[in-house]
């Protein structure tokens, strides 16, 4: 389930398990649900009022993928990043504990790979990693923080996991960014990733004010953190469209939204692109060879 990834901040995605439950506003437009539940009907997504959903361990061929990437990394002499569980959450309460232990063992046997363990449940990291035999040395820990409330809750938990488990590095995925976020320097992760929201099935993307991206970019720089901007999402602010309002097609003008007084125009993910103030921010944390 996934070879090379289209996600800008990883080379590969690896899904030892699929299925999850919605736990925060970032889950409203879950791409994994839109694909694996609504489109392919592989699992049933859980949500408040709808139960915990289902979890499925994937095939032996999927579990073998990291060993292929390990062999290639040995030949190339590099350390590719692997996003583990893009269609699930490694620290989900509904995983069978043995699945996590088995996945961690695969990680330990593929030491040239850098595993990105992104979770919306960072409060579970320490206890679940300990129960699975300890965090692999080649794992990095990340938390999703889409708004100030989630940042205030998740970043301190991520910091506790950093102190307790000594991951390669920590990272914050501020995507979909749906509010301004101020991060106290003590809780700033080593790597900051930002991104806007995209349409997923019936869920229509919410716009992100460009100042929210700029704020996290500048906070990361002030703290010496690495910054990566994944995408603007479906919207651009009108000031950066490069066209007069009357020259825009009606189909675009009809989708204008305002956020904090800023006119945002829905132009689509491809047209909005990845640049922030004319710059593509593609930085990655350095890891030893």
- For 69-84, the pLDDT digits (tens) are 999 999 999 999 999 9
> CA nearest 270: which of 206, 199, 219, 191?
199
Whole-angstrom distance, CA of residue 289 vs CA of residue 110: 14
- pLDDT score for 2: 42
- For residue 286, count other CB atoms closer than 10 A to its CB: 9
Whole-angstrom distance, CA of residue 229 vs CA of residue 174: 10
Task: Name residues whose C-beta falls within 8 Å of residue 47's C-beta, 6 or more positions apart in sequence.
Answer: 21, 22, 27, 53
> CA nearest 233: which of 26, 46, 38, 86?
26
SS (H, E, C) 43-88: CCEECCCCCCECCEECCHHHHHHHHHHHHHHHHHCCCCEEEECCCC
DSSP for 84-104?
Answer: E-TTS-TT-TTS-HHHHHHHH
- pLDDT score for 3: 54
Task: Name residues whose C-beta falls within 8 Å of residue 259's C-beta, 6 or more positions apart in sequence.
Answer: 207, 208, 209
β pairing state of 191-195 and 170-174: parallel
φ/ψ of residue 37, rounded to 5 = -100, -65
Please list the ranges in the chain whose pLDDT falls under 70.
1-3
- pLDDT score for 15: 98
Whole-angstrom distance, CA of residue 101 vs CA of residue 194: 30
Q: Residue 18 has which token pair?
A: 């699929």
β pairing state of 12-14 and 81-84: parallel
- pLDDT score for 16: 98
- pLDDT score for 128: 98
Whole-angstrom distance, CA of residue 53 vs CA of residue 57: 14
CA atoms within 13 A on the CB side of 76: 11
């Amino acid at each position: 389930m996934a070879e090379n990834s289209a996600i800008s901040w990883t080379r590969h995605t690896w899904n030892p398990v699929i299925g999850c439950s919605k736990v925060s506003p970032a889950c409203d437009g879950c791409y994994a649900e839109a694909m694996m539940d609504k489109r392919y009907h592989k699992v049933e997504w859980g949500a408040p009022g709808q139960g915990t959903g289902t979890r499925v361990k994937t095939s032996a061929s999927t579990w073998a993928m990291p060993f292929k990437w390990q062999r290639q990394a040995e030949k190339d002499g590099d350390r590719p990043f692997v996003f583990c569980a893009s269609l699930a959450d490694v620290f989900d309460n509904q995983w069978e504990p043995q699945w996590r232990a088995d996945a961690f063992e695969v990680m330990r046997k593929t030491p040239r790979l850098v595993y990105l363990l992104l979770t919306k449940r960072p409060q579970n990291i320490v206890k679940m990693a300990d129960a699975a035999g300890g965090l692999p040395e080649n794992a990095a820990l990340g938390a999703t923080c889409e708004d100030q409330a989630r940042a205030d809750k998740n970043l301190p938990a991520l910091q506790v996991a950093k102190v307790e488990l000594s991951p390669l590095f920590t990272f914050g995925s501020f995507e979909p960014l749906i509010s301004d976020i101020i991060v106290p320097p003590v809780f700033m992760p080593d790597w900051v990733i930002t991104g806007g929201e995209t349409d997923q099935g019936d869920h229509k993307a919410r716009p992100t004010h460009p100042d929210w991206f700029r704020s996290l970019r500048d906070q990361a720089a002030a703290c010496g953190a690495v910054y990566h901007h994944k995408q603007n999402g479906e919207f651009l602010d009108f000031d950066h469209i490069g066209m007069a309002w009357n020259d825009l097609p009606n189909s675009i003008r009809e989708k204008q939204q305002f956020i904090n007084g800023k006119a945002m125009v829905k132009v689509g993910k491809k047209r909005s692109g990845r640049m922030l103030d004319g710059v593509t921010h593609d930085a990655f944390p350095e890891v030893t060879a």
